[in-house]
């Protein structure tokens, strides 16, 4: 008589435990999916930064245009709609900003492990997406390099810099 309802309680506990594990896996899959979206958005913005050129006459004049194009491409993915309040910002490593080892973009953001406070909902995950594709030389840089390389044989003397005369993507 004292064991009536035990099978019901065991069933409910197993059901709740199984449902909890499925819910945790769903949250992990959601975080991974959002991470792939951020990676793709960062990669596409990095590609836009890589190839953007406004045909200016100075070597670094097109960098601001490239930054604007990269930000525009990244914003089209509406990351904040999928990961609200993430505190993320697209950062561009440029050679002129200082001694950067890599040239490209990265995006660091925070997201919650779970939406349920009892199952890791208070834990912040620090995520980062990097895409360092570099930056191709602008047309002005290519023109400057080619002109320097062509001046070497006729200029006389040895300059203190190396100039190559081959196709380096210009």
Which residue is associated with the tokens 């990676």? 39
Straight-line distance from the first to the last Cα atom of the chain, in angstroms, rounded to the nearest whole number? 88
pLDDT confidence of residue 163: 57
Stretch (H or E) spanning 107: strand 104-112
Would residue 78 count as lying in a domain?
yes
- Report yes or no on whether pTM surpasses 0.85: no
- Residue 146: pLDDT over 90: no
pLDDT confidence of residue 6: 84
pLDDT confidence of residue 33: 93
Report how many domains make up the chain: 1
Would residue 84 count as lying in a domain?
yes
What is the extent of the structural domain holding 35? 8-155
pLDDT confidence of residue 75: 92
Helix, strand or coil, per DSSP, at residue 82: helix
Q: What is the DSSP string of 31-67?
A: HHHHHHHHHHHHHHHHHHHHH-----SSTTTTHHHHH
């Amino acid at each position: 008589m004292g064991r009536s309802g035990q099978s019901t309680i065991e069933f409910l506990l197993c059901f709740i435990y199984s449902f909890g594990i499925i819910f945790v896996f769903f949250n992990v899959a959601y975080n991974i999916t959002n991470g792939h979206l951020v990676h793709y958005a960062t990669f596409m913005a990095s590609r836009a930064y890589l190839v953007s050129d406004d045909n200016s006459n100075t070597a670094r004049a097109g960098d601001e245009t490239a930054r604007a194009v990269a930000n525009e491409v990244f914003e089209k993915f509406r990351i904040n709609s999928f990961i609200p309040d993430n505190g993320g910002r697209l950062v561009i490593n440029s050679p002129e900003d200082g001694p950067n080892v890599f040239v490209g973009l990265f995006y660091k953001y925070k997201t919650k492990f779970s939406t349920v406070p009892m199952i890791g909902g208070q834990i912040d995950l620090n995520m980062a997406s990097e895409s360092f594709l570099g930056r191709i030389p602008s047309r002005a840089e290519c023109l400057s390099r080619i002109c320097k390389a062509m001046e070497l044989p006729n200029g006389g003397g040895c300059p203190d810099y190396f100039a190559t005369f081959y196709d380096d993507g210009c």
